[in-house]
Amino acid sequence: DQQVKQNSPSLSVQEGRISILNCDYTNSMFDYFLWYKKYPAEGPTFLISISSIKDKNEDGRFTVFLNKSAKHLSLHIVPSQPGDSAVYFCAAEISGTYKYIFGTGTRLKVLA
Amino acid sequence: DTEVTQTPKHLVMGMTNKKSLKCEQHMGHRAMYWYKQKAKKPPELMFVYSYEKLSINESVPSRFSPECPNSSLLNLHLHALQPEDSALYLCASSQGARRYTFGSGTRLTVV
């Protein structure tokens, strides 16, 4: 039972355009969400997070949107750069449990 | 120092071997984690240590044995593994339950 799903295994975007990565979850108890980026042969690195009391969080080129009623979050990258090419994982947590559930990942390719 | 260091980076072991994976952080984080990641799958939580005590064991087989000798160090002892245990093993740490910092992982192959 996959509680956190990323239905697009891959995405290709032209450099300079917007990349939109989507994530759906099933457990309404999740109240903290994060996005991680992973390059080959490296561990995941933290990108951006959002608490369930917010519906948007922005950090430079990265914005995360949370729609609690739809149990959906998305990551927008604007403008996309070739260095953004990586696998992106969303993760969800029930506060205080120390337990993240990761999505299956989306491989983003930004074309120069 | 803002890194989590994992050694070795690669490990090949036989099914009768005993080996250990090591993870170290000097950020003062009090929670440390072991995750397992198979190809094209998300990382899956194995163990959580909080203040050097095991707080979560996700029903991991006993052939995996974690150890937290001090607040900076986390080991994963391996014994009698199966080929299906081949995976990337990721260590992470966090201050509280937010924003893990991950290591680069140990790529384990069981032959």
pLDDT for the residue numbered A96: 79
Q: Which residue of A has its CA nearest to B55?
A: A98
Query: Is residue A108's pLDDT more than 70?
Result: yes
| Average of per-residue pLDDT across A14-27 | 97
Query: Is residue A17's pLDDT more than 80?
Result: yes
* CA B23 to the chain's CA centroid: 7
Q: Are B105 and B37 in contact (CB under 8 A)?
A: yes
Quick check: B55 and A98 CB within 8 A? yes
Q: Identify which has the larger pLDDT, A54 or B99.
A: A54
Q: What percent of chain A is modeled with pLDDT above 70?
A: 99
| Each residue's pLDDT tens digit, A29-46 | 999 999 999 998 788 999
Angstroms from A14 CA to nearest CA on chain B: 24
Number of Cβ within a 10 Å radius of residue A51: 12
Angstroms from B24 CA to nearest CA on chain A: 14
Whole-number Å distance between alpha carbons of B1 and B25: 8
pLDDT for the residue numbered A97: 81
pLDDT for the residue numbered A85: 97
Q: Record the tokens describing residue B110, joined without a space.
A: 């069981």
Query: Is residue B97's pLDDT more than 80?
Result: no
Question: Does residue A102 belong to the interface with chain B, where contact is any CB pair within 8 Å?
Answer: yes
Query: Is residue A13's pLDDT more than 80?
Result: yes
Query: Is residue B99's pLDDT more than 90?
Result: no
Quick check: B42 and A102 CB within 8 A? yes
Q: What is the mean pLDDT of chain B?
A: 93
pLDDT for the residue numbered B41: 87
Angstroms from B71 CA to nearest CA on chain A: 16
| Each residue's pLDDT tens digit, B7-59 | 999 999 999 999 999 999 999 999 999 999 998 888 999 999 999 999 999 99
DSSP helix/strand/coil, A83? helix
Which of B6, B42, B94 minimises the CB distance to A104?
B42
pLDDT for the residue numbered A40: 84
| Each residue's pLDDT tens digit, A43-80 | 899 999 999 999 999 999 999 999 999 999 999 999 99
Q: Are A88 and A102 in contact (CB under 8 A)?
A: no
Query: Is residue B2's pLDDT more than 90?
Result: no
Quick check: A98 and B90 CB within 8 A? no
pLDDT band at B95 (very low <50, low <70, confident <90, very high): confident
Which of A46, A98, A101 minimises the CB distance to B56?
A98
